[in-house]
């Protein structure tokens, strides 16, 4: 899932920015599940720097092979089919980075994340970002910069969501926003302030928990 | 390229070998083969565990033979288990009929084959025999223990009994315990053998063996080893013989195929061994066998210490999408169990139409996974 995207798109710089923001949220020595872990780069970093106990979930066999080569524990599964492999509250953090856009049942997946883990960390590409608005306004089409990869009929990206829509929908499924970063991927700009974020940030990173 | 040759060797253990049943065997012969032996170099050891009908001959060629060992696609220079880097060992299970002591061996007390006087054996007895062999060979550390099907059961058992001796395990198309359906298939196979009058209570040695019964058992096995889709693709309703009067003689391709599998099996396998080994498989229950510290082999230690030991261990569990005999869910249960013990377990489900037999035939994808897995163990050093 996320793996495919990381390979054939200029996502690497997005990744590095997102990785450092995620890393700041992770308590050392915690248990982490990374959904759509791709080649395991994020987990590798968290294991090295935060000494976490990490497991990745991936659907692609070639990415599984790369995770194994890194010595990362990885589990081949389709996230959309649920996380029944894990008991309630097995993890401290369940990460969904660069993956929500390829999931067909995001709410079910988010509920599952907060069943097996205390916190969910989700990165969201902002469809409402000003750059996207301008592209659509001028060109009248969803180009690959918006879609990230592939043509409309063969891209794995099927969910287009803006940061404000994402946050609104959290309330419907009783999930609380604990913390958030709004940022521009290809830069070092990031902010915790949500004012105008739906216009000015092309990425959002959310730390979520179950409403008590 | 010149065919790499190998010989089956055997070790004679002249002290009594104690079984889980309380019985013992003396003397015990263990047949084994070693690949990638490089005198003078220190190589890590890979231990290969065979399935129900396998043997110690996992790879390379026996002198004068045209067919290599049963997992030759996976073992050899540049292959998944690279003999340039590893010393690879495979042994024949006890109770078997390919060199290790089993029901067809001569009982030294009576001078006749054991037949049913051979004591019942378990999966743990199989791995304990290998432990005795390893001790004789002076090997106390194994980089990886690996097996498919019944071989996977042995890998899990051996690893769980002596985690200190292993860095990792790879368990392919296997389970921690048989389901009712799996036991049922085995029972039909056993009944087919015992219903053959030539079986004669197990006393057929020196006479014609129960070929009919054993070949039916093997035919049932083969139906479960491949997927419905593959069987349909391969044979469909193709007939060799359209003579309607030939009724009750094999006429469909699939009947000929099963007939061939049955007939060729009876030439190389002992019916009593089939009974003993399938029973060991059915009785295998990993969780029961290792729960309760009193029943752990090796030095007894506090549970906490033991779990810490397991934290540095790695496991790889592989299943196949079309394997309906050992369905993926059983492999996922293995992952859950060992993750719970803090072993770093990974899981891969290979998409294939080849059913349970895929562990023997689909070597390409298995090779990618296994090579990466083993490489990471090197880096962890």
Give the per-residue pLDDT at B1: 64
In chain A, whose CA is at the least distance from the CA of B368? A65
Q: Indicate whether B44 and B146 sit together in one domain.
A: yes
Q: Which helix (H) or strand (E) holds B304?
A: helix B303-311
Give the per-residue pLDDT at B242: 76
Top pLDDT among B308 and B182 is at B182
Average pLDDT, chain A: 90
pLDDT-derived band of residue B297, with 50, 70 and 90 as boundaries? very low
In a domain, B54, yes or no: yes
> Touching check for B214 and chain A: CB below 8 Å?
no
Rounded distance, CA A180 to CA A52, Å? 21
Min Cα separation A138/chain B (Å): 44
Instruction: Tell me the residue range of the domain where B272 lies.
Output: 183-280
The domain spanning residue A48 has which CATH number?
A: 3.40.50.150
CB-CB neighbours of A133 under 10 Å: 14
Task: Show which residues of B are catalytic.
Answer: 149, 323, 356
Q: Indicate whether B295 and B274 sit together in one domain.
A: no
Q: Indicate whether B203 and B330 sit together in one domain.
A: no
Task: Assess whether pLDDT exceeds 90 at residue A1.
Answer: no
The domain spanning residue B218 has which CATH number?
A: 1.10.1740.110
Of A3-7, A66-70, B76-80, where does mean pLDDT reach its minimum?
A3-7
In a domain, B3, yes or no: no
- What are the tens digits of pLDDT across the range B96-128? 999 999 999 999 999 999 999 999 999 999 999
Number of independent structural domains in chain B:
2
In a domain, B375, yes or no: yes
Q: Considering CB atoms only, which of A62, A70, A85 is closest to B332?
A: A85
In a domain, B343, yes or no: yes
The answer to whether A178 and A119 have CB atoms below 8 angstroms apart is yes
Q: Indicate whether B161 and B204 sit together in one domain.
A: no
- What are the tens digits of pLDDT across the range A109-143? 999 999 999 999 999 999 999 999 999 999 988 87
**DSSP class of residue A53?**
E
- What are the tens digits of pLDDT across the range B43-73? 999 999 999 999 999 999 999 999 999 999 9
Give the per-residue pLDDT at A13: 56
Min Cα separation B380/chain A (Å): 8
Q: Indicate whether B133 and B196 sit together in one domain.
A: no
Q: What is the mean pLDDT of residues B318-345?
A: 96
Q: Indicate whether B245 and B271 sit together in one domain.
A: yes
Q: Indicate whether B59 and B100 sit together in one domain.
A: yes
**DSSP class of residue B248?**
T
Average pLDDT, chain B: 93
- What are the tens digits of pLDDT across the range A75-107? 999 999 989 999 999 999 999 999 999 999 999
Q: Indicate whether B136 and B71 sit together in one domain.
A: yes
Rounded distance, CA A71 to CA B314, Å? 9
In a domain, B84, yes or no: yes
Number of independent structural domains in chain A:
1
Q: Indicate whether B241 and B370 sit together in one domain.
A: no
Q: Indicate whether B187 and B134 sit together in one domain.
A: no
The domain spanning residue B34 has which CATH number?
A: 3.40.50.1820
Q: Is the ipTM of this complex over 0.95?
A: no
């Amino acid at each position: 899932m996320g793996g495919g995207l990381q390979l054939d798109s200029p996502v690497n710089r997005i990744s590095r920015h997102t990785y450092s923001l995620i890393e700041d949220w992770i308590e050392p020595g915690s248990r982490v599940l990374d959904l759509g872990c791709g080649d395991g780069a994020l987990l590798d970093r968290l294991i090295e720097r935060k000494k976490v106990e990490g497991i990745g979930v991936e659907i692609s066999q070639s990415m599984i092979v790369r995770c194994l080569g890194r010595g990362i524990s990885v589990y081949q599964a389709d996230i959309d089919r649920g996380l029944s492999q894990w008991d309630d509250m097995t993890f401290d953090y369940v990460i969904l980075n660069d993956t929500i856009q390829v999931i067909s049942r995001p709410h079910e997946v988010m509920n599952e994340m907060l069943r097996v883990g205390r916190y969910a960390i989700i990165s969201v590409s902002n469809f409402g970002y000003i750059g996207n608005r301008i592209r659509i306004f001028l060109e009248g089409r969803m180009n690959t910069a918006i879609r990230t990869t592939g043509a409309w009929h063969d891209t794995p990206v099927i969910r287009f969501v803006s940061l404000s829509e994402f946050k609104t929908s959290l309330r419907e499924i009783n999930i609380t926003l604990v913390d958030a970063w709004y940022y521009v991927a290809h830069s070092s700009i990031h902010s915790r302030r949500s004012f105008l974020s739906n216009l000015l940030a092309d990425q959002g990173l959310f730390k979520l928990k179950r409403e008590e | 390229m010149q065919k790499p040759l190998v010989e089956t060797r055997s070790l004679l253990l002249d002290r009594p070998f104690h079984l889980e049943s309380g019985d013992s065997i003396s003397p015990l012969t263990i047949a084994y083969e070693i690949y990638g032996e490089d005198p003078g170099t220190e190589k890590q050891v890979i231990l290969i565990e065979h399935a129900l009908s396998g043997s110690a001959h996992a790879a390379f060629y026996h002198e004068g033979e045209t067919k290599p060992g049963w997992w030759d696609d996976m073992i050899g220079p540049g292959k998944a288990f690279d003999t340039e880097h590893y010393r690879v060992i495979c042994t024949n299970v006890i109770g078997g009929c390919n060199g290790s002591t089993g029901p067809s061996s001569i009982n030294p007390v009576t001078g006749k084959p054991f037949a049913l006087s051979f004591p019942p054996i378990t999966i743990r007895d199989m791995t304990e025999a290998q432990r005795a062999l390893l001790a004789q060979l002076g090997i106390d550390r194994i980089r990886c223990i690996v097996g498919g099907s019944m071989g996977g059961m042995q890998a899990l058992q051996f690893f769980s009994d002596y985690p200190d001796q292993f860095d990792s395990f790879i368990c392919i198309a296997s389970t921690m315990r048989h389901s009712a359906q799996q036991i049922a298939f085995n029972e039909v196979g056993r009944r087919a053998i015992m219903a053959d009058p030539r079986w004669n209570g197990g006393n057929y040695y020196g006479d014609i063996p129960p070929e009919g019964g054993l070949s039916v058992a093997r035919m049932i096995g083969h139906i479960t080893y491949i997927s419905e889709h593959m069987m349909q693709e391969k044979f469909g309703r193709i007939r060799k013989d359209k003579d309607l009067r030939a009724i009750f003689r094999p006429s469909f391709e699939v009947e000929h195929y099963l007939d061939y599998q049955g007939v060729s099996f009876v030439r190389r396998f002992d019916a009593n061994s089939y009974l003993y080994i399938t029973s060991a498989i059915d009785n295998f229950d990993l969780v029961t066998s290792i729960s309760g510290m009193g029943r752990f082999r090796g030095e007894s230690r506090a549970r906490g210490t033991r779990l810490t030991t397991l934290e540095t261990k790695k496991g790889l569990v592989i299943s196949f999408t079309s394997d309906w005999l050992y369905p993926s869910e059983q492999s996922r249960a293995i992952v859950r169990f060992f993750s719970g013990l803090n072993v770093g377990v990974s899981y891969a489900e290979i998409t294939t139409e080849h059913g349970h037999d895929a562990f023997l035939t689909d070597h390409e994808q298995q090779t990618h996974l296994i090579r990466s897995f083993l490489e990471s163990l090197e880096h962890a050093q």
